Amino acid sequence: MLYYQANGLSHNRLGVCAGKDAIGNAVARNRAKRLLREAYRQNRPNFRPGFDFILVARKNLLNLKAPELIREFRNCLFSAGLIIV
């Protein structure tokens, strides 16, 4: 799940959360957060500047491989108009 809001700065900021109820044990939560941070990092050069992003991990995220997640993340950002192609 992606939440975003304009921050009035010249750069973007990122927050990642993975709840115990939604994901499970610490190993799974840490893997989910690593995957989300990597998806953000891979797409960072294409972002429009000046936004705060909060990425919330969900259970089905753990079923995706990193390239699939990066592609889905890019599609989500593109449909929201937050990515410059």
Listed by start position, the domains of the chain span 2-80
Tens-digit pLDDT profile for residues 5-58? 999 999 999 999 999 998 989 999 999 999 999 999 998 888 889 999 999 999
What topology does CATH give the domain 2-80? Answer: Ribosomal Protein S5; domain 2 (3.30.230)
Looking at residues 65-71, what average pLDDT do you find? 90
Residue 79 three-state SS: helix
Looking at residues 63-82, what average pLDDT do you find? 89
Instruction: Kindly compute the dihedral angle of the four CA atoms of residues 18, 19, 22, 25, in this order, to the nearest 10 degrees.
Output: 90
CB 38 within 8 A of CB 44: no
Residue 50 three-state SS: coil
Looking at residues 67-73, what average pLDDT do you find? 90
The pTM score is 0.86
